[in-house]
Structure 1
């Protein structure tokens, strides 16, 4: 008799599942196909949708998320209930370390906060909140070289620019500008716009970063994109009017 996956009180599935995948290793005459079991943390979010996230080597859900149907999960994936408790324990460990780090950082205790964020990153190096948090610590202390290293990590994480992290995303972008890291701010907003181009505030923030970098033509272009989405955007109107009045572009 098959073991059932973990089921929450609302009858939604939440657990660890696996699927067998075939891949190729080697090249030429030494190439061969191998089968391996790939593990995912699955969480049902509505009647028909399940969100999958792969497990990293520490058995922590990490990296990009994907959506499949509940039927696809139950037909194609095998439940792995023996892993559930370990995964949930480590996931809580990461979440608690991040929460402690955020609390300490907001108090200005950046060294203690960095320690907590680092603990989370040891288990999940792609954790968005921990990466943002440790980057903010470095910027608050004026450690620009370390901040740039973290920036290079964050800008590669698609999840960093998703709606669920929008408040962190906005705070981080503002901090980049405050620390006069204008080139990084421009790269940051351009990266965000690769994932979504329907947010007028992203275009405004890009315009502001370009303006402060002295790139007035690009600043005007970004302001125009902002106003195409929101014609009455007050800050967008101001920066456009200023550039045109001064003949900067």
Structure 2
């Protein structure tokens, strides 16, 4: 994932800036460039720069002492080469979002593809592209994007919750129940204490005619949130309809959660 990095911040008590580009010399190799970011007053994270000079991949925590001892600041590279690339990439994503909100999905697809040409793991661009593909019926490509997103743990971070929920709902509405279930299972492998995730997973399981599994998930959701009225309604519906014909599932009218 590649969220928009913050601007470099100077730390007056220290000899180097603690957000920006740093290099690491390796024996018999060219120096490798990294983006270091301050994530709190006391914590730092580090990500490598890809071939297009934007931060890419999962962020790793790094100790201040390690950064000082092993890495060299490269402020000139950040200002001249990295910041412009990040800006260009985010502009493509922002344009893609605006097109998608207007229903201009082919134009959105072009913008998201341009961003992903710079960073193929950009979370917001992947979600946006996947949503546009679902809207225009390109389910094969949407499923490929889903495969990438479930491999990127950053897809399930709180800052992407809205996009995550929207994508899951659209997968289900597109009839991609198996893919939708796999999507929620991946999220639940990271946290099994989210009643909304459990509810949405149960609904996808139900619509995929996996009634017993749906019952188990909705029971877990209600154990976490006994006053979850939509979950209680879905539980009652599942219980009543388990022995009915598959066509009866179309009557389900509980709202989506999240």
The range that moved more, 34-43 or 77-86, is 34-43
1:57-84, Cα deviation, whole Å (9 max, x unpaired): 1111011112223333223322122321
Q: Against the structure 1 CA distance between its residues 97 and 7, is the aligned structure 2 distance closer, same or farther, given a 3 Å change threshold?
A: closer
Q: What residue in structure 1 maps to residue 206 of structure 2?
A: 211
Distance in 2 of aligned mates of 1:83 and 1:9: 16
Matching of residue 77 in structure 1 with residue 71 in structure 2: yes
**TM-score, normalised by the number of residues in structure 2:** 0.83
How far off is 1:246 after superposition?
4.0
1:77-124, Cα deviation, whole Å (9 max, x unpaired): 221223212111111111110000000110011111111101100000
Distance in 2 of aligned mates of 1:21 and 1:198: 43
Note the aligned Cα RMSD (angstroms): 2.1
Q: Which structure 1 residue ranges, 5 or more long, are not aligned? A: 1-5, 23-33
How do 1:1-249 residues align onto structure 2 when only pairs under 5 Å count?
A: 7-8=8-9, 13-20=18-25, 37-85=31-79, 86-248=81-243
Aligned length: 233
Q: Against the structure 1 CA distance between its residues 203 and 19, is the aligned structure 2 distance closer, same or farther, given a 3 Å change threshold?
A: same
Q: What residue in structure 1 maps to residue 252 of structure 2?
A: none
- DSSP 3-state at the match of 1:41: strand
1:220-249, Cα deviation, whole Å (9 max, x unpaired): 111112122212111221112222244559
Question: Does the aligned pair in 2 maintain the 1:63–1:159 contact within 8 Å?
Answer: no
Q: Which protein has the bigger strand share?
A: 1
Distance in 2 of aligned mates of 1:173 and 1:21: 43
Question: Does the aligned pair in 2 maintain the 1:139–1:175 contact within 8 Å?
Answer: yes
Q: Which structure 2 residue ranges, 5 or more long, are not aligned? A: 1-6, 245-258
- DSSP 3-state at the match of 2:227: coil
How far off is 1:186 after superposition?
0.1
Question: Does the aligned pair in 2 maintain the 1:15–1:43 contact within 8 Å?
Answer: yes
**TM-score, normalised by the number of residues in structure 1:** 0.86
Question: Does the aligned pair in 1 maintain the 2:211–2:242 contact within 8 Å?
Answer: no
